Amino acid sequence: MALTLHQLRKRAATFALAAAIAAMNAGCSQIETDVTQGWDADRLYEEARAAAEDSDWTRAQDYYTKLESRYPFGRYAQQAQIESAYAYWRDGDAAQCVQACDRFLSQYPNHANSDYVLYLKALATLNQRDTIFTALLTQDIYERDSDAARTAFDTFKELVERFPQSRYAHEARRRMHELVLSQAHSEYNIAKFYYDRHAYVAAIERAQNVVRTFQQTPYSDDALKLIRDCYEQLGVKDLESDVNRVIELNQNRER
């Protein structure tokens, strides 16, 4: 017996409803039960530390997050935030690490471990992203985006000024020195990049920035020579001679 159009539509609707219910049931059956339900703060912290010791940073992060959420005022809350930031960093999520450090430092500015959190934040800041010139000019491993480098430098500086006796202060000073050299090197290489492409005006601007900003680094002398070479290429003899005199004066001082 042939079905009417109304019956066909009704049957199709019934099939669609049944399929939807079946899909919902299948989805529900695949939802995993949260094994941490019922765990107290001690258990969550112990499991998070165990995961971290196994270098399972994603699982450790999950446990630390749950610990902070469920026991925000417990005895593990502050330590969990610190270790959570470290887990983000080891898991390769530098941006989340920086955010976690900022949140901790905002909530607990005078915490006994603030020096460590500042140090961790600076390291993570340096690892957030490279500049386009890193790829183009194959700079050293410490060369990073100039804004990130300045932020990291300022963070290391804050650590040294606030906690001069910290166990991380010596390393922070060393990294500050490396950052200055790296930024000078980066700026000089960018100037050289322009020079090699005959963009002499742009090269002069970059090289002058090295001389102004990084005068105490060896790249300042290299930048002066590059400026002289640019003026030579441009045929500006008077400025070329002026720069040559500065170079000679610097060389005489060093003798």
pLDDT, position 140: 44
Report the percent of the chain where pLDDT is more than 70. Answer: 80
What's the pLDDT score for residue 139? 42
153 vs 164: CA distance, rounded Å: 15
pLDDT band, very low/low/confident/very high, at 200 (cuts 50, 70, 90): very high
Q: What is the pLDDT of residue 254?
A: 72
User: What is the model's pLDDT at position 135?
Assistant: 38
Query: What pLDDT shows up at residue 15?
Result: 55
Residue 19 confidence (pLDDT):
56
Q: What is the mean pLDDT of the chain?
A: 85
How far apart are alpha carbons 197 and 160 in whole angstroms? 41
Q: For 9-40, what is each residue's pLDDT tens digit?
A: 556 555 555 555 555 555 544 456 888 888 99
Three-class SS of residue 114? helix
Which of 22-36, 106-120, 131-145, 221-235 is the least confident region? 131-145
User: For the residues 226-243, what does the mean pLDDT come to?
Assistant: 95
Question: pTM score, two decimals?
Answer: 0.71
Mind giving me the DSSP string for 62-110? Answer: HHHHHHHHH-TTSTTHHHHHHHHHHHHHHTT-HHHHHHHHHHHHHH-TT
Mean pLDDT of 47-73: 93
Q: Residues 133-190: pLDDT tens digits?
A: 343 344 443 344 678 888 999 999 999 999 999 999 999 999 999 999 999 999 999 9
pLDDT higher at 150 or 204? 204
pLDDT at 34: 82
For the stretch 160-172, what's the b/e string if a residue is b when 16 or more beta carbons lie within 10 angstroms of its beta carbon?
A: beebeebebbebb
Question: Biggest alpha carbon distance in the chain?
Answer: 111
